[in-house]
Amino acid sequence: MAVEGRINVRHEDVFTQPVVLLSVDPSEDFDKRKAGDADIQERDKGTGIRLWAVSILDPTARQGQREIKVKVVAEQQPVPPHGVLAPCEFDGLQVIPYLDQNRAKPRVGIAYRATGFRSSKTTRQAS
């Protein structure tokens, strides 16, 4: 049976080193923005809870792919425990494969979603 939808993973399965938190911003629902709604923040389809775009820097990724956005589900804006530009790890991390057809040559992309984040306590070595 093929795996469909979201895949639950551990932070260390995806990111071999701690990532650096850059910002936490409301994730915009582009359809709501286009319709002129007052509240354009994206919400989780299952729960209706707000989504936040957490921008991180993955120092192990290739150049041009180091900044990644992880959508975090939370009613209130998550506050980084040690501010921005601090190492962090994600809790409840999921990878969501999708087909990006908005290019001349379609490609498989990966979106990330999490239930929260915390400061990173240790630095792991890449395997």
8 A C-beta contact, residue 70 and residue 110: no
Q: What is the sign of the dihedral through the CA atoms of 72, 77, 81 and 87? A: positive
Asked if residue 97 is part of any domain, the answer here is: yes
Distance CA 70, CA 49 (A): 15
Asked if residue 125 is part of any domain, the answer here is: no
Asked if residue 17 is part of any domain, the answer here is: yes
Asked if residue 1 is part of any domain, the answer here is: no
| Residue 127: pLDDT band with limits 50, 70, 90 | very low
Range of the domain at 65: 7-119
Asked if residue 101 is part of any domain, the answer here is: yes
Asked if residue 126 is part of any domain, the answer here is: no
pLDDT(2) > 70? no
| Residue 18: pLDDT band with limits 50, 70, 90 | confident
Asked if residue 40 is part of any domain, the answer here is: yes
Which structure tokens are listed for 77?
Answer: 């804006």
The domain total for the chain is: 1
Contacts of 87 (CB under 8 A, 6+ apart): 18, 19, 20, 21, 119, 120, 123
- Model confidence pLDDT, tens digit, residues 60-96: 989 988 999 999 999 999 998 888 899 999 999 999 9
Say which residue, 24 or 120, is predicted with more confidence.
24
Element spanning 41, H or E: none
- Model confidence pLDDT, tens digit, residues 48-70: 999 999 999 999 989 988 999 99
